[in-house]
Structure 1
Amino acid sequence: MPNRSVLVYDGDCAFCTTTVNYLMRRVRPNCDVTPWQFANLEALDVTQQRAEHEVLFISPTGTVYGGAQAVAKLMLSAGGAWAWPGGLLTLSPVRWIAHGVYRLIAANRDRLPGGSPACALPADRRPSVRPAE
C-alpha cells in the first residue's frame, strides 16, 4: 500500500490528462498522481479493468474510491475551501447525481474539450498501450 493517497487516471485520454493537470494546478490535492498505464496496479490492489473504467483515488489504508467519489476524496485531500464541495459530493442525493454526471462525462470524454478519438478506443486498441502480460 502507498504511504500517501494516489490518484490513478487514464493517461492515454487527452480529456482526462487535461482535467488532472488542471486539478493539480488549481485544487492542489494532497496525493500522488499517476496514469494507470504507469502505475503498479497490483500493489495498489486494483485491476486494469477498473482503472480503465474510472478515475481512482486510493487512500494510504488501501480504500479505493472510483468515479465521482474519487473526485470528492481528491477535493477533500486538498483541504481549505475545496473540502466543502468535496464533502458535498459524498452526501446523498448529491452523491447519486454526481455519479450520473461522472458516468455521462466518462461515456463522452472523446467529444469533450481536450478529448481525442483515442479516448473512445478500448484500452487494448490504443496506440501507446500494450496488452498486459
Structure 2
Amino acid sequence: MRRQPVLIFDGDCGFCTSSVGVVQRLLRPRCEVVAWQQADLDLLGVTAEQARYEALWVTPTGWVYGGAQAVAKLLLSAGGVWSVAGAVLTLPPVRWAAHGVYRLVAGNRMRLPGGTAACAVPGAKVPRT
C-alpha cells in the first residue's frame, strides 16, 4: 500500500503542468505528484479516460477524487490556511460551485496562460468512482 496520496495531472497540458509547479512551490502538499502519462494507472486504480478528463487525487487506501474535490484534497494536505480552504471546498453549496468553476477552467485550459491545443479536454462525461 502507498504511504501518501497521489495527485495525477495532465503532463501534456502546459497550463496543468505550470499550475502543478506553482502548487508544489507555494503549498508544498504532502503527496506524490505525477503526470498521468507517466503513472501506473492500473496500480492507482484509475483509467486513462478518467485521468484525461480531470485531475485526480488517489488516497493510500485507493479512494479516488476528481476535479474540484481533488483540488480540495490537495489543499487539505497542504495544511495551515490552505486546509481551511480545502475544507470549505468540500461543503455544499461551495462544493457544487467549485465543480462548476473546475469544469469551466478545465474546458478552457487551452485558452489559459501556458495552454496549447494539447490541453483540450475530451467532452465526454466520466462516471464518478
Q: How many angstroms does 1:121 deviate by?
A: 7.0
The one-character-per-residue Cα deviations of 1:16-57 (angstroms, maximum 9, x if unpaired) are 000000000001100000000000000000000000000000
Calculate percent identity across the aligned residue pairs: 60
Pair member with larger Rg: 1
Instruction: Tell me the equivalent position of 1:65.
Output: 65
Distance 1:121 1:91 in 2: 26
User: What is residue 130 of structure 1 aligned with on the other side?
Assistant: none
Q: Which ranges in structure 2 are unaligned for 5 or more consecutive residues?
A: 123-129
1:2–1:44 CA contact under 8 A, matched in 2: no
The residue matched to 2:8 in structure 1 has which SS? strand
Task: Return 112-121 or 96-105, whichever deviates more.
Answer: 112-121
Gap runs ≥5 in structure 1: 123-133
Q: How does 1:1-133 map to 2 (within 5 A)?
A: 1-120=1-120
AA matched with 2:16:
C
1:120 Cα deviation (Å)? Answer: 2.1
The residue that corresponds to 2:127 in the other structure is none
Residue 117 of structure 1: how far off its partner (Å): 1.8
Q: Distance in 1 between matches of 2:84 and 2:107?
A: 27
Contact 2:107 2:121 in 1 (8 A): no
Give the aligned CA root-mean-square deviation in angstroms: 1.1
Question: 4+ residue stretches of structure 1 with deviation over 4 A?
Answer: none
Amino acid of the residue matched to residue 49 of structure 1? E
The superposition leaves residues 31-87 of structure 1 with CA deviations (integer Å, 9 ceiling, x where unpaired) of 000000000000000000000000000111111000000000000011111101000
- Tell me how far apart the structure 2 counterparts of residues 120 and 65 of structure 1 sit (CA, whole Å): 21
